[in-house]
Structure 1
Amino acid sequence: MKRISGVVSSAVLAMLLSSHAAAEYQGPKVKFKLAHPAPPGSHITAAYKKFADLVKDKSDGRIRVQLFPGSILGSDRVMIEGAQRGTLEVGVSSTPNLASFTPLFQVFDLPYITSPAKQEQLYKALEKGQPLNAYLEKVANDIGLQPIMYAEYGYRNFVSKERPLTGPDALSGLKMRTTDSPVDVAVAKAMGANPAPIAWGEVYTALQQGTIDAEGNTFDLMVGAKHHENLKYAITSAHNYGMQVAMANKKWWDSLPEEAQTLLEEASREAVTYQRTVAYPADQKKARESMLAAGVVIHETSKEEMAKFKELTQPVFDEFAAKLPEDLIQLVQETQL
């Protein structure tokens, strides 16, 4: 076997290879729908495809997951509303969009509350049995949902159409596309940019026509939507982190036998480990290469520049953190120590 990249430990490799082991599940047959917003080729799509494959394998085909990718059943909001009502067993939403169902998920929108350097510690805190996991589970349960997978979305970086991005000050005056998230809008203002909330599907044309000249998103998502064709500069600001969370209808989840719940949790844990260690890093590498090949200049943020980013966005952090429970903020911040 060829040497495996250092990002995949031998333990992880063994786990992935063992996914085809003989199944022991003898419970009732179950078939359910899982809908998510990611397009084909995305590491998010790979995560949920892996989950479905593992569920089928571990149950010897007695449990089946019917996947509906690419928002074909509706937007994040529509999918989560379906999961709440029970018309959809499992819906997937980004954490910013979950904040419209409960503001507590807005904790992950706070600028620089997490960082790529401490990502493994955040992953650990999201595991079953950990305080942060238990807290978020109760938050979801209170609105009729049961979280079953915290799939990676990634860190957003600023990009521009014409202006070189050589530091935080370079964003001043730019027409910056944002989401409808009040945190996203406030961050753009804090950087001196002029926020322009625009639907994702309209961003390519807005860049092309000059309606906007900057945005902030993950490299892979921008490349997937071909935004890099209209971009020239990027900076690794990593100013905002997000996840794509699979939420099950709580009553449906509770109706499953414990054996089935355990199997689904095990498949979820293995699928998200696969995404974080294999699919996501590969997607990020490919996206960077695509941007560079298209002529996009990527400025790597220095420690001093990162400190400036944090200083400029601290008022935004303080404003929105004041609206959230202190114990929740503390649980997330403890992952960064």
Structure 2
Amino acid sequence: MLFLGAWGGIAQAKSITLRLAHPMAPGNNVTVGYEKFKEIVEKKSGGAVKIQIFGNCMLGSDRVTMEAVQRGTLEMASSSSPNMASFSPMFMVFDLPYVTSPDKQPQLYKALDDGELGKYLSRECEKIGLKPIMYSEYGYRNFVSRDKEITGPASLANMKVRTTDSPVEVAVAKALVMNPAPIAWGEVYTALQQGTVDGEGNTFSLLSDAKHTEVLKFAANTQHNYSMHILMINAKTFASLPPDIQKLLVESGKEALIYQRGITAKLENDAVAKFRAAGISIHELTPAERVEYKKLTRPVWDQFKDKIPAELMNLLLETQK
């Protein structure tokens, strides 16, 4: 709740509490980023602004909590970029297979944080009642399996794979002759355990943090698409805050991102070690196999060219040069 003195602002604020919901597991790179955001906001405001975090799907999946933010019944929520495609087709651009590459991350982040790409997305989010605060690094997704070795694309044929609701992610699965099964994140562990699905695509770090290593046996470093977790605040809530508190949230988000992105590579490497310690076989793609993955999934770009504006596509591709 918000209680301000007559003049508003941090100096006169008696108490501002903003609730932040996210679906990520404890210790995950996204989770610790939001914990850092909370720490920075509360320290800089002298405790006048408090962030109350509800993680690990405590308030529901990212889609459920983002809908609550849109309605204004929740102040802030974080959604993966694939699940954000349910709110705006613009976010499908990040789901396109191999549209970004790990070695171009600095350019991508500069464009999101301070460039035209970020401004474009902010305008689109405003249309659906949201304002972005942080584009947290989630990471590159890799295919994993409960009982089938994964190597080149042919090894994935007929596998029933969990996807998000993202139309692009579903199309990628089909391009690789898999059978996509959109399932909410909080239900995936059980689906794997019971054999409802054979595999999934996700970052090694999240899979490890969520203990999916207990039900997985095989993996491959396909790095077939990049995902972010995007922290949004209800646009009307943000606009109602005094300017200095708005500035505090935005600047704290940028500061937290420096920390969050800075630790992600280490956490992903640690997760790979945990995979191997759990006895999971990780196949390192050969250059030829990676080329084949890219070739088979490239037609997905054309399937969505009418839904993704050329301007947005060009802004993203500019970051990859």
Please tell me the residue identity of whatever aligns with 1:282: K
Aligned to 2:217: 232
Mapped pair 1:285 → 2:269: yes
Alignment check: 8 A CA contact 1:80 1:93 kept:
yes
Aligned to 2:295: 311
Mapped pair 1:108 → 2:71: no
The CA RMSD measured in Å over matched residues stands at 1.9
Structure 1 pair 124–175 and aligned structure 2 pair: CA distance change class (3 A): same
Aligned to 1:328: 312
Mapped pair 1:68 → 2:54: yes
Unpaired segments ≥5 residues, structure 2: 1-9
Q: Deviations over 1:95-138 (max 9, x none)?
A: 1111111111111111111111111111111113x100100000
Q: Please report how far the alpha carbon of residue 27 of structure 1 lies from its aligned counterpart in structure 2 after TM superposition.
A: 5.4
Aligned to 1:300: 284
Question: Which residue of 144, 149, 156 maps to 2:129?
Answer: 144
Aligned to 2:75: 89
Q: Please report how far the alpha carbon of residue 214 of structure 1 lies from its aligned counterpart in structure 2 after TM superposition.
A: 2.4
Alignment check: 8 A CA contact 2:61 2:184 kept:
no
Q: TM-score when scaled to structure 2?
A: 0.91
Unpaired segments ≥5 residues, structure 1: 1-24
Percent identical among aligned pairs is 53
Alignment check: 8 A CA contact 1:28 1:62 kept:
yes
Q: Deviations over 1:279-333 (max 9, x none)?
A: x223212211111011112122233222211110011121013321000011111
3-state SS of paired residue (1:276): helix
Question: Which residue of 52, 64, 73 maps to 1:78?
Answer: 64
Please tell me the residue identity of whatever aligns with 1:186: A
Structure 1 pair 334–27 and aligned structure 2 pair: CA distance change class (3 A): farther
Question: Which residue of 136, 141, 144 maps to 1:156?
Answer: 141
Mapped pair 1:262 → 2:247: yes
Alignment check: 8 A CA contact 2:83 2:165 kept:
no
Determine the C-alpha separation between the residues in 2 that align with 1:105 and 1:264: 23
Mapped pair 1:135 → 2:120: yes
Structure 1 pair 193–258 and aligned structure 2 pair: CA distance change class (3 A): same
Alignment check: 8 A CA contact 1:112 1:239 kept:
yes
Mapped pair 1:173 → 2:158: yes
Map 1:31-42 → 2, pairs under 5 A:
31-42=17-28
3-state SS of paired residue (1:159): strand
Determine the C-alpha separation between the residues in 2 that align with 1:262 and 1:329: 29
Please tell me the residue identity of whatever aligns with 1:191: L
Structure 1 pair 248–312 and aligned structure 2 pair: CA distance change class (3 A): same
Aligned to 1:48: 34
Determine the C-alpha separation between the residues in 2 that align with 1:329 and 1:155: 19
Structure 1 pair 27–238 and aligned structure 2 pair: CA distance change class (3 A): farther
In the alignment of these two chains, the number of paired residues is: 312
Alignment check: 8 A CA contact 1:40 1:69 kept:
yes
Structure 1 pair 214–75 and aligned structure 2 pair: CA distance change class (3 A): closer
Q: Deviations over 1:33-77 (max 9, x none)?
A: 111111222111111110011011112222211212222222212
Please tell me the residue identity of whatever aligns with 2:227: G
Aligned to 2:6: none
Question: Which residue of 117, 142, 158 maps to 2:103?
Answer: 117
Alignment check: 8 A CA contact 1:27 1:257 kept:
no
Q: Please report how far the alpha carbon of residue 197 of structure 1 lies from its aligned counterpart in structure 2 after TM superposition.
A: 3.0
Determine the C-alpha separation between the residues in 1 that align with 2:207 and 2:79: 18
Alignment check: 8 A CA contact 2:22 2:57 kept:
yes
Q: Please report how far the alpha carbon of residue 209 of structure 1 lies from its aligned counterpart in structure 2 after TM superposition.
A: 3.6
Map 1:217-256 → 2, pairs under 5 A:
217-256=202-241
Determine the C-alpha separation between the residues in 2 that align with 1:77 and 1:201: 12
Please tell me the residue identity of whatever aligns with 1:310: K
Determine the C-alpha separation between the residues in 2 that align with 1:127 and 1:186: 29
Determine the C-alpha separation between the residues in 2 that align with 1:140 and 1:103: 11
3-state SS of paired residue (1:65): strand
Alignment check: 8 A CA contact 1:235 1:298 kept:
yes
Aligned to 1:14: none
Structure 1 pair 27–123 and aligned structure 2 pair: CA distance change class (3 A): farther
Q: Please report how far the alpha carbon of residue 161 of structure 1 lies from its aligned counterpart in structure 2 after TM superposition.
A: 2.8
